[in-house]
Amino acid sequence: MPIGLYVHLPFCRVHCTYCPFAVSTDIRLQDRYTGALLAEVDARSDGDRVVDSIFFGGGTPSRTSRENLARIVARLRERFAIDDDAEFSLEANPEDVTDDAVAFWRALGVNRLSIGVQSFHDDELRPLGRVHGRVQALEAVRIAAASGIRTSLDLILGLPRQTEASFLETLETAITTGAGHVSLYMLDLEEGTALVRQIEGGRVSLPDDDLVASLYTAAIDRFAEAGFAQYEISNFARPGQECRHNLRYWRREQYLAFGIGAHSFVGDRRFANTRDIHQYIAGEREPVFAEVLGEGEVRRETIFLELRQAAGIHYDDVVRLCGEEGIEWMERGLIDGWLRRVGNRVAFTPSGFLLSNDYISRLF
């Protein structure tokens, strides 16, 4: 079976107030970081693994220098058998997207750009600490779409200062940009982030939960009308524009991941690298986390990942994995309206997606 490759490029101009990812604002480290990353690629590759998806995520991969991106791509091509039609995604922030940059990334083999727009409103972007504003975001998406590269936008719902009108305007703008894919995430409040401290200190307030819930279901309807099918809880695509690499995560397919904080899934083992960039540069390769899932955990994970997808899970699989309790659970969900039937499968309804973790936890 082909595998996927994830490369974590952690450098960002600023550390956004809501961001819990493994990032560094010290761009002077990038050459040494790239050297350590190449050493990790050498150590983990085993010859001829066939690769059908690559994802450069971060951090802000578009902030990594062209020289270093080229070094990494060359090493991956040396060490793995990369399919000619492999999907190759790169995350970019709007301020980095120029005609010239897109041409360079395409020449490297990148064929899908994921742009971190988050919102098209300056007064929502500012509290997040984002570097870009509406004008730059529009220009970035215009450049990407005009170049013909597959383009995806990231948006966030539930932002400080976001209103019904502002969110719906962001949504309409995203739909009309020419992008073929949109990821719509709920704002995730992670302990320890600057945004959480601002909220706790009363300096920032968030939109009401009921409003956020109704905007999420409205977005699903609007995307559908505009020809974007929901294929996962947070992901919407025009036909053929689904992200193959992300589907791999939800289908429990294998991937190797390189760089700080990167999580791999190989054989039946999951493991993660250190998040400490200095340790990583010094050659630390010992996983900070490793596990082989037992039968019960595989069962739970399979159900959880399949139900994240709009295609849901086969009725027989719920019965096989959960027995009688699974049947009762599906019947309750269909009666109460948080599940729907899709042929011989069951899937969450839009309102079911909003509380999917709670509903799934009732199964175990």
Within the chain, residue ranges assigned H as helices are: 30-44, 66-79, 99-108, 122-125, 134-147, 164-176, 194-200, 209-225, 244-250, 277-281, 295-308, 315-336, 350-354, 356-361
Q: Does 16 bind ligand SF4 (CB under 6 A)?
A: yes
With CB under 6 A as the contact rule, the residue among 7, 9, 19, 346 that binds ligand SF4 is 19
In the shown chain, the binding pattern of residues 93 to 122 toward ligand SF4, with x for contact by CB under 6 A and - for none, equals x----------------------x------
CB neighbours of residue 96 within 10 Å = 22
Both tokens of 246, joined, read: 């992300």
Q: Does 275 bind ligand SF4 (CB under 6 A)?
A: no
CA torsion angle for 229, 232, 233, 238 (degrees, to 10)?
A: -30
| Cβ proximity to ligand SF4, 58 vs 207, nearer residue | 58
Q: Which stretch binds ligand SF4 (CB under 6 A): 11-19, 138-146, 291-299, 350-358?
A: 11-19
Q: Does 156 bind ligand SF4 (CB under 6 A)?
A: no
User: Do the Cβ atoms of 259 and 252 come closer than 8 Å?
Assistant: no
Q: Which residues of 257-276 are buried (b: 16+ CB within 10 A; e: fewer)?
A: bbbbbbebbeeeebbbbbbe
Calculate the CA 116 to chain-centre distance. 11
Q: Does 155 bind ligand SF4 (CB under 6 A)?
A: no
Q: Which stretch binds ligand SF4 (CB under 6 A): 55-63, 101-109, 229-237, 327-335?
A: 55-63
| Cβ proximity to ligand SF4, 17 vs 34, nearer residue | 17
| Cβ proximity to ligand SF4, 89 vs 230, nearer residue | 89
Q: Does 60 bind ligand SF4 (CB under 6 A)?
A: yes
With CB under 6 A as the contact rule, the residue among 7, 9, 23, 339 that binds ligand SF4 is 23
Which residues does 261 contact at the CB level (< 8 Å), separation at least 6? 8, 10, 21, 22, 272, 273, 274, 275
| Cβ proximity to ligand SF4, 116 vs 352, nearer residue | 116
Q: Does 12 bind ligand SF4 (CB under 6 A)?
A: yes
- Please report how close the Cβ of residue 16 comes to ligand SF4 at its closest, in angstroms: 3
Q: Does 58 bind ligand SF4 (CB under 6 A)?
A: yes
CA distances (Å), origin 342, targets 251, 295, 345: 18, 27, 5
Residues found near ligand SF4 in the complex (CB under 6 A)? 12, 15-16, 19, 21, 23, 58-60, 93, 116
